[in-house]
């Protein structure tokens, strides 16, 4: 996840205007998955000792994890990551190791802005889009459950009425039930060790876990689960399994007379009248994809009553990233990147940054190419670094006296400024490069926070993300004491300091006029060097600032 490093107001925005820490984090997690094709989730799980293909696809586990026991009547259940609790994982309705493996990934990635449940939703989107499927709308704001939910996941041994009732309880019609099952079963299969009465031991060195797949392209999104079902060539173990009790897909697909899977126009008629419209999954890959995109979006948006999700998070066309402000002696350093979404790097493209200062002035410089990435939706982005082409510096160096208040960008002559509001920059509270280690064994140090003269905060504090007993993130605040006598850092800033002995990362918080602000850039003792023998601010003479 890209960590955006601007000091910004925590208050909820009515529209997504950068910077907005929570929405920035969600947008980056949704759209900045750099080069997802290099690994999971489409690849097989493999044994680490033999590297033998197991026949199992990560993507199927990630999709299955989305299915939750929501009840539209009382508003309980839904996508709240309660599947992470061992009590739920041990239920007969949740067999196998897929949930354990999946939650090990997601419970290590949640932050103050992105819940485990949001990550589970993004996991489904990653699986589908990376593996050839359609784009799926994503909203953030899910809340992680504090305890297990009630049981109620359908099982393959249940009859059609039970399945229909289970989906209806969650707000899905019988037709939508068929769609969700077909969409989910374009990936994966049934594993022998989990359902030995349904799938035999295959004794296949290229399928060491003996997984009978739902279709022949089990790690790629397509409508083969439908076409193979209709053509009679399917090997779906829940359709043609020897144990008819577990042939739940067969019962569900046929529950409307195969209308959803086959349609009212027969293959024979389509051959002689190809202009006839297609109304079934087997006849129209586009219909299958669009239906899956809609149903998957509804499924991940099924949340407990009282949870309010954001609007659909679309990528910002121009977005600053990895921004930070650091007071470094006589200079204010502004490193960062700007992302141009939906375009590739182009050596002839000219990208400039222009910024305003407290004195009413405006400065500008041309940015340099950095890299190109590809989102999981297979959309490229071009990134440009705040390495001025005029000075070849690894950051913009700004005179602290005038500082910086806002940025805008010009791309091949077109101004990008969020409709005239610009990209706000807060330089009232910044990390100081005078921060240093006071000891290496045990490790300890001092954080110096530079406060611009004339800014009178109610308090300055460090923020630390701390997980509770069930992996939910809370923010722990530690106040800095206001200095009894100003410790000047040049002509424009004074220092507030605090001793730190934890190696965990911290962000900086401030409160002024009853409003809380927070940076997103994290700082750690591991980033620091030993303090100078005397506690005195060394005013480094860097390059001439702008």
DSSP 136-165: ----------SSPPPP----TTS-HHHHHH
Shared-domain flag, residues 283 and 354: no
The domain boundary, picked from 300, 326, 345, lies at 300
Map residue 119 onto helix, strand or coil: helix
Mean pLDDT, to the nearest integer, of 469-473?
Answer: 97
The domain boundary, picked from 424, 451, 481, lies at 424
Shared-domain flag, residues 407 and 523: no
Q: What is the pLDDT of residue 1?
A: 29
Establish if 173 belongs to a structural domain.
yes
**23 in Cβ contact with 12 (< 8 Å):** no
Shared-domain flag, residues 483 and 377: no
Residue 486: DSSP 8-state: -
Which pLDDT tens digit goes with each residue over 303-350? Answer: 999 999 999 999 999 999 999 999 999 999 999 999 999 998 888 999
Establish if 4 belongs to a structural domain.
no
Is residue 539 over pLDDT 90?
no
Shared-domain flag, residues 365 and 408: yes
Query: Nearest 5°: phi and psi at 26?
Result: -65, -40
Which pLDDT tens digit goes with each residue over 256-275? Answer: 999 999 875 555 655 665 55
Q: What is the rounded CA–CA span in Å between residue 519 and residue 66? A: 32
Q: What is the pLDDT of residue 174?
A: 98
Domain count, the chain: 3
- Mean pLDDT score across all residues of the chain: 89
- Domain hosting 439: range is 429-527
CATH code assigned at 224 = 1.10.520.10
Establish if 255 belongs to a structural domain.
yes
Shared-domain flag, residues 412 and 496: no
Q: What is the rounded CA–CA span in Å between residue 154 and residue 67? A: 10
Establish if 1 belongs to a structural domain.
no
* Per-residue confidence band for 51, with pLDDT thresholds at 50, 70 and 90: low
Shared-domain flag, residues 361 and 291: no
Shared-domain flag, residues 58 and 80: yes
Establish if 411 belongs to a structural domain.
yes
Which pLDDT tens digit goes with each residue over 376-410? Answer: 678 899 999 998 666 666 789 999 999 999 999 99
Is residue 5 over pLDDT 60?
no
Shared-domain flag, residues 83 and 212: yes
Shared-domain flag, residues 295 and 325: no
**157 in Cβ contact with 204 (< 8 Å):** no
Q: What is the rounded CA–CA span in Å between residue 222 and residue 133? A: 7
Which pLDDT tens digit goes with each residue over 107-137? Answer: 999 999 999 999 999 999 999 998 999 999 9
Q: What is the pLDDT of residue 68?
A: 84
* C-alpha dist (Å) from residue 107 to 59, 143, 296, 308, 451: 17, 13, 22, 22, 36
Shared-domain flag, residues 327 and 465: no
Let me know the angle formed at the C-alpha of 382 by 376 and 383, rounded to the nearest 5 degrees.
110
Q: What is the rounded CA–CA span in Å between residue 342 and residue 364? A: 25
Q: What is the rounded CA–CA span in Å between residue 314 and residue 425? A: 22
CATH code assigned at 373 = 2.60.40
Q: What is the pLDDT of residue 46?
A: 42
Per cent of the chain over pLDDT 70 is: 87
Q: What is the pLDDT of residue 8?
A: 35
Per cent of the chain over pLDDT 90 is: 78
Q: What is the pLDDT of residue 139?
A: 98
Structure tokens at 254: 């046929």
Q: Could you write out the three-class secondary structure of 319-335?
A: EEECCCCEEECCEEEEC
Q: Where are the beta strands (DSSP E) in 174-330?
A: 189-191, 211-213, 318-321, 326-328
Shared-domain flag, residues 375 and 226: no
Mean pLDDT, to the nearest integer, of 204-218?
Answer: 95
The domain boundary, picked from 374, 396, 424, lies at 424
Give, for 372, the enclosing helix (H) or strand (E). Answer: strand 368-374
CATH code assigned at 471 = 2.60.40.2440
Q: What is the pLDDT of residue 520?
A: 85
**336 in Cβ contact with 321 (< 8 Å):** yes
Establish if 335 belongs to a structural domain.
yes
Query: Which residues have a Cβ under 8 Å from the Cβ of 529 and sit 6 or more positions away?
Result: 436, 437
Which pLDDT tens digit goes with each residue over 148-175? Answer: 999 999 999 999 999 999 999 999 999 9
Mean pLDDT, to the nearest integer, of 27-50?
Answer: 59
Q: What is the pLDDT of residue 36?
A: 42
Shared-domain flag, residues 349 and 250: no
Q: What is the rounded CA–CA span in Å between residue 310 and residue 127? A: 22
Q: What is the rounded CA–CA span in Å between residue 325 and residue 452? A: 12
Establish if 492 belongs to a structural domain.
yes
Establish if 147 belongs to a structural domain.
yes
Map residue 375 onto helix, strand or coil: coil
């Amino acid at each position: 996840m890209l960590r955006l490093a601007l000091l910004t107001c925590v208050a909820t925005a009515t529209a997504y205007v950068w910077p907005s820490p929570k929405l920035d984090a969600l947008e980056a997690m949704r759209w900045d998955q750099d080069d997802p094709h290099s690994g999971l989730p489409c690849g097989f799980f493999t044994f680490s000792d033999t590297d033998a293909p197991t026949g199992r696809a990560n993507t199927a586990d990630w999709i299955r994890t989305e299915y939750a026991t929501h009840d539209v009547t009382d508003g309980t259940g839904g996508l709240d990551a309660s599947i992470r609790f061992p009590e739920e994982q041990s239920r007969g309705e949740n067999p196998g190791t897929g949930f354990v493996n999946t939650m090990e990934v997601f419970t290590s990635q949640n932050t103050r802005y992105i819940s485990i449940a949001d990550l589970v939703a993004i996991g489904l989107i990653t699986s589908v889009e990376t593996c050839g499927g359609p784009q799926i709308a994503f909203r953030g704001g899910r809340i992680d459950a504090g305890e297990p939910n009630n049981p109620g996941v359908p099982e393959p041994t249940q009859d059609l009425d039970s399945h229909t009732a289970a989906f209806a309880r969650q707000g899905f019609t019988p037709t939508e039930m068929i769609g969700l099952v077909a969409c989910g079963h374009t990936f994966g299969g049934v594993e022998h060790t989990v359902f030995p009465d349904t799938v035999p031991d295959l004794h296949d060195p290229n399928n060491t876990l003996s997984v009978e797949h739902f279709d022949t392209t089990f790690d790629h999104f397509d409508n083969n689960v439908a076409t193979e079902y209709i053509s009679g060539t399917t090997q779906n173990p829940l359709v043609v399994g020897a144990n008819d009790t577990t042939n739940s897909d067969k019962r569900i697909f046929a529950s409307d007379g195969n209308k959803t899977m086959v349609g009212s126009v027969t293959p024979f008629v389509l051959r002689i009248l190809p202009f006839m419209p297609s109304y079934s999954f087997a006849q129209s890959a586009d219909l299958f994809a669009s239906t899956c995109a809609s149903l998957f979006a509804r499924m991940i948006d099924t949340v407990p009553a009282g949870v309010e999700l954001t609007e659909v998070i679309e990528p910002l066309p121009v977005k600053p990233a990895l921004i930070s402000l650091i007071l470094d002696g006589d200079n204010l350093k502004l490193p960062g990147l700007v992302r141009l979404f939906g375009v590739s790097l182009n050596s002839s493209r000219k990208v400039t940054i222009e910024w305003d200062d407290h004195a009413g002035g405006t400065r500008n410089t041309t940015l340099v190419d950095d890299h190109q990435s590809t989102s999981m939706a297979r959309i490229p982005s071009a990134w440009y670094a705040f390495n001025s082409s005029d000075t070849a510096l690894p950051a913009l160096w700004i005179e602290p006296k005038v500082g910086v208040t806002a940025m805008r960008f010009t791309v091949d002559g077109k101004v990008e400024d969020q409709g005239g509001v610009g990209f706000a920059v807060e330089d009232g509270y910044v990390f100081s490069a005078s921060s240093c280690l006071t000891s290496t064994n045990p490790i300890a140090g001092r954080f110096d926070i530079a406060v611009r003269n004339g800014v009178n905060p109610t308090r300055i504090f460090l923020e630390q993300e701390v997980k509770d007993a069930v992996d939910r993130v809370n923010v722990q605040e530690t106040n800095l004491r206001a200095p009894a006598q100003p410790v000047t850092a040049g002509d424009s800033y004074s220092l507030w300091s605090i001793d730190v002995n934890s190696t965990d990362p911290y962000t900086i918080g401030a409160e002024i006029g009853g409003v809380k602000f927070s940076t997103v850039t994290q700082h750690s003792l591991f980033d620091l060097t030993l303090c100078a023998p005397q506690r005195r601010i060394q005013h480094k003479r860097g390059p001439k600032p702008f």
